[in-house]
Amino acid sequence: MSPPESVIAAERLFDGERFLADRAVVMRGGLIADVTAEPPPGLKLLRLPPGAILAPGFVDVQVNGGGGVLLNDDPSPAAIARIGAAHRLGGTTSFLPTLISDTRPVIRQAVGAVSAAIAAGVPGVLGIHLEGPFLSPQRPGIHDPARLARFEPEDVALLTGLGAAGVTLVTLAPEMVPPGSVAALVARGARVCAGHTADPGPAIRAALAEGLAGFTHLFNAMSQMSAREPGAVGLALTAAGAFAGIIADGHHVGDEALAVALRMKGPGRLMLVTDAMPPVGDPEARASFTLFGRTIHRTAHPNGDRLASADGTLAGSALTMAGAVRHMVSRGGASLEEALAMAAPTPARFLGLDGGIGRAAPGYAADLVALDPGLGVLGTCIGGAWQPGPAAQARAS
């Protein structure tokens, strides 16, 4: 059942393209019915505090875990719901549960769990991101080398098993799959990104010609640009039609590199992702977790908590999308409009869902985030259902 008709009013509304002053968003049947200067009388009204910002809810295409749960460890609808609830506290209203490299039976189980979660109406689930296992052993990052695999023809059907139930995003190393594999995945509806690749350029160029849509966690676990070879980084920055996800947490990418990427790609092609792990929203605030038998330590840092193995390998992040927005504005060279675009309309467009999410406009899903002047999360709406956020709870205490 959809929430009753209601209104949220704010001094500042970012509609996905620009800021508007003193606007009220009317929500009906899970959708935005109107955006008006005056709240209609007789409806339930939530008026945000002075200085607050209302914006399209954040869309995160790379969410490995949250709430103390890792999708690989528990590929179930209940785990997906818990992950989504944890990230909602950070302003995320839509997300792709992400499975890092694992065995084919686990891939099949995760795809089934996402399908069941969507059918059950778990809030915010858009589909699945399968990051691996067809990655370069030269650039595994924190992925378990024992779980990397050779691409077989039948893997096209395995990876696209979600079908029309939701969006499928596949990250692979183009040099590790036979020619035509990217085209075959795209033909079955998948979006394909290059990641964890050591290719200096030729295989990635060929993949772009086959329909490669973007690049996963730009700069990290990929071939770098040199004087004579573009590498994945160079092609990501210069391929005009390609999108790129980037982790703006102060650990994965330096602030100067964030600014360069933004200048090269622009906020319409560069999108914020968290690459988040179980510590995000973990109610027990554990100092470590286990990933394929390796202990991952969570350590405090001025830039925010850092997740790494004992040898220093980064293991995803403890980042929220609101934290990524704050970092891009304060240290990554982005205006607030640019950072908010990178967090909602740009990933929505990358996923091909920009006709339904990622904007605060009539006909779009009533998926919104309310932010205080410091960009803390006052609350979120998913389908018009309001939930207070950490910043609102702090104001009330």
Nearest to 262 by CA among 342, 348, 340: 342
With 0-12 CB in 10 A as exposed, 13-18 as middle and 19+ as buried, what is 128?
Answer: buried
Is 196 annotated to bind ligand? yes
Q: In the chain, how many H helices and how many E strands?
A: 11, 21
Which residues fall within 8 angstroms of residue 350, CB to CB, at 6 or more apart?
A: 61, 191, 213, 214, 243, 271
Is 173 annotated to bind ligand? no
Cα–Cα distance for residue pair 250/177, rounded to 1 Å: 32
Is 64 annotated to bind ligand? no
Is 314 annotated to bind ligand? yes
Q: Which of 275, 282, 305, 367 is catalytic?
A: 275
> Residues in the chain, how many?
397
Is 252 annotated to bind ligand? yes
Nearest to 372 by CA among 18, 46, 55, 7: 55
Is 247 annotated to bind ligand? no
Report whether 253 contacts 319 (CB < 8 A): no
Task: At 15, list the tokens.
Answer: 């509609």
Q: In whole angstroms, how far apart are CA 308 and each of 46, 251, 277, 294, 300?
A: 41, 10, 11, 10, 11
Determine the residue type at 180. G
Residue 275 annotated in active site: yes
Is 221 annotated to bind ligand? yes
Determine the residue type at 154. E
At residue 130, what are phi and psi to the nearest 5 degrees?
Answer: -105, 100
Go through 202-224 and write b for each residue having 16 or more CB atoms within 10 A of its CB, e for each that does not: ebbebbbebebbbbbbbbbbbbe
Cα–Cα distance for residue pair 357/344, rounded to 1 Å: 8
Is 228 annotated to bind ligand? yes
Annotated binding site: 131, 142, 196, 217, 220-221, 228, 252, 314-316
Annotated binding site for Zn(2+): 131, 196, 217
Annotated binding site for substrate: 142, 220-221, 228, 252, 314-316
Q: Annotated active-site positions, please?
A: 275
